[in-house]
Amino acid sequence: MNTFRVLVINSFAKTFQTSCMKCVGSHKRHVFGTIQQRKSKPFPVLDGKVDTSAASFQENAAVMEKFIGNYRKMLAMAQAGGGEKAIERHKVRNKKFLATDRVRLLLDEEDSFLELAPLAGLGMEYGDVARAGVYTGIGKINNKYCMIIANDGTVKGGTVYPITLKKQLRAQEIAEQNRIPCVYVVDSGGAFLPLQAEIFPDKNHGGRSFYNEAIMSAKGIPQVAIVCGNCTAGGAYVPTMTSEAVIIHKIGTIFLGGPPLVKAATGEIVSAEELGGAKMHCSVSGCTDYYAETEEVGFEIGRDIIEGLNLPGHPGPQREPQLPLYDPTELNGLIPARNQHQMDIHKVISRIVDDSRFHEFKKTYGPSLVTGLAHIHGFLTGIVGNKGEITGPAAAKGAHFIQMCCERGIPLIFLQNSAESVAEPTANSGESFGNCLREHAKMMAAVSCAQVPKITVIIGNSIGPSNFLMGGRCMSPNFLFTWPNAVIGLSNTESLVQQISQEKIPKNLNHSEQLALESKIREICQREMSAAYSSTRLLDDGMILPQDTRQVLGKCLDITSAYLKPVASSYPVIRM
Ligand code: COA
């Protein structure tokens, strides 16, 4: 609260006190009570009460438990890395630390780490690639947020599959958008050779990560490497493109072609250490700047490098964080087992925001979109949540609210839950559809041009155009997460199945053959529209549990506020 407002309220209170002294005591307390209350707590409290004993609540929670069980199974597969044999070889024969231990050594506290896309790489057409072969996330080193990209040497020698590349590039994209320094923990055999055609020649293929390093460095986003394994072929450029690199003796090597290739080409027999080891690169080639005898020393040097980056201080949240008044674990029972677009968005918000307080904007206008301000972990945020179809007025309200947040530098949180189906035009509805389309375009323009951080959580359906309007991947949100129950697709599952079946099922098949094919099509559609598919294909930055949403959003808000400066919008807010 600014000083002026405090003074005004105090003098106002004094006036009342003088006049009230003449009155009865209870009157005085009543007047003061009202004023004091408005001073201390902004935004009204939401009613988040639910009947946890209701049959529908229990049924919803039971369905969610199945989704969550599946999520935990996938997470365990991802965390198992390349499997026991590969881990044994990595630790015992190669005498190296695991990627997770390395990240632990770098970080101040493990708790600060926000792992990104842990499920990426499972169930690929070329097999399971645990954690896509690269452990990635954002954590604090010497109290400064850094993006850490650590190859997992236990997954096929840390080689780069198409999904590994996608994950590395996404991590760099997040780093660039949020201006987070990158630390590459390199241990990679370079390209996974059988799939070289899918990772080498195109714009967003292998060389793009080196391009990104240069571009980020030019923008003042520091790039640092710790070489604690092989940097073979293209991998050799990862440390070389950074501004500072550490290499570990007898563990780190950097070369374009290893000893077998040298022997084949020149007949020369040379050891990996002689060809591209720590001593050679620190004293002869100059490709690395710090020599470390052990991994522990190497990661200490890495932490010292971060200290020397002269990164700005972190502004922190505007307010003291407050827990919500309602239990976030109850969210599971609030997600309808059927027709999840009917989820009560206010009850969801009441379990995510501080003190369950929400300052709702245009509550009764376009009510299928809920907009308003709240604090999450003390950060002031603009919340945009949908409950079903985004009508014309709802989109107009969304555009207005988003512009307002941009004018004030308030980050936006999108809670996506669209209608099951996209409304079909009827004969006499041309005008209303045209109007709706126009309003959608306004909201889409506002979302596209928003210069504030955007964080999206798909809490239910992301079907049809609401994916775009509500900060879907195409709108470049700073982060995007999905709940395990999320459904993401062009249209609802059943209409997609019907349309594809009409196209694909030959008319000369008998009825039971047609039904069998239709059910196969349904299975594929359901799989491809699931949160599991989205997360393993890296169409999001991770699947998160409803109960963890507040924690994750709090970390993201902290991260986005660390290095980004508010950009003033160059246009006034236009009332839609
Ligand atoms: N492409 C495909 N598979 C590769 C690979 C590559 N570039 N490099 C290693 N692998 C596979 C190995 O065949 C092995 O598979 P397996 O577990 O099914 O037997 C697995 O990765 C682990 O390799 P291994 O050599 O046993 O492990 P390591 O930890 O001792 O050594 C490397 C890892 C990467 C240092 C070593 O395998 C190597 O030098 N590979 C060649 C790297 C190369 O030439 N890359 C050129 C890319 S352009």
Taking only the tens place, the pLDDT of each residue in 173-207 is 999 999 999 999 999 999 999 999 999 999 999 99
Burial annotation 337-360 (CB, 10 A radius, 16+ → b, else e): eeebbebebbbbbbbbbbbbbbeb
What amino acid is encoded at 148 in this protein? I
- Which residue has the least CA distance to atom 14 on ligand 1? 156
The pLDDT > 70 percentage for the chain reads 92
| Residue 30 pLDDT | 43
Q: Residue 488 forms beta bridges with which residues?
A: 462
3-state SS class at 58: helix
Lowest mean pLDDT among 215-219, 361-365, 416-420: 416-420
Can you give the pLDDT at residue 564? 94
C-alpha pair distances (Å), 219 with each of 184, 222, 274, 450, 477:
18, 9, 36, 21, 20
Ranges of beta strands (E only) in 31-133 are 114-115
User: Is the per-residue pLDDT at 529 higher than 90?
Assistant: yes
Q: Which two tokens stand for residue 239?
A: 């440390």
Question: Under a CB-based contact definition with an 8 Å cutoff, are residues 96 and 90 in contact?
Answer: yes
Check pocket membership of 192 for ligand 1, CB cut-off 6 A. Answer: yes
Q: Which amino acid is at 196?
A: Q
Contact between 7 and 18 (Cβ < 8 Å) = no
- The answer to whether 258 touches 264, Cβ cutoff 8 Å, is no
The residue whose CA is least distant from atom 33 of ligand 1 is: 157
Partners of residue 191 on adjacent β-strands:
160
CA pair distance 405, 383, nearest whole angstrom: 10
User: Has residue 339 got a pLDDT over 50?
Assistant: yes
Distance between CA atoms of residues 140 and 316, nearest Å: 14
Residue 425's pLDDT band (cuts 50, 70, 90): low
Predicted confidence (pLDDT) at residue 2 exceeds the cutoff of 90: no
Q: What are phi and psi of 125, to 5 degrees?
A: -65, -20
Whether residue 230 has its Cβ less than 6 Å from ligand 1: yes
Whole-model pTM: value is 0.92
Q: pLDDT-derived band of residue 574, with 50, 70 and 90 as boundaries?
A: confident
In 3D space, the residue among 148, 140, 145 whose CA is nearest the CA of residue 108 turns out to be 140
102 pLDDT tier (thresholds 50, 70, 90): very high
Tell how far the Cα of 129 is from the centroid of ligand 1, in angstroms. Answer: 14
pLDDT band at 349 (very low <50, low <70, confident <90, very high): very high
Overall size of the chain counted in residues: 576
How do residues 493-521 score in pLDDT, each as one tens digit?
A: 898 999 999 999 998 999 999 999 999 99
- Span 265-292, mean pLDDT? 95
pLDDT in tens, 9-38: 333 333 333 333 333 333 334 444 455 555
Arithmetic mean of pLDDT, 223-242: 95
327 has pLDDT over 60 = yes
Q: How far is the CA of 158 from the centre of ligand 1 (A)?
A: 8
Q: Three-state SS string across 321-377, please?
A: CCCCCCCHHHHHHHCCCCCHHHCCHHHHHHCCCHHHECEEECCCCCCCEEEEEEEEC
> Residue 78: pLDDT above 70?
yes
Pick 149 or 433 by higher pLDDT.
149
Q: Is the pLDDT of residue 53 over 60?
A: yes
Please determine, for residue 463, whether its predicted confidence score (pLDDT) is greater than 90: yes
Substitution site in 97, 154, 156 for ligand 1 pocket (most atoms within 8 Å of beta carbon): 156
Query: Per DSSP, which regions of 213-278 are E strands?
Result: 223-232, 244-248, 253-255
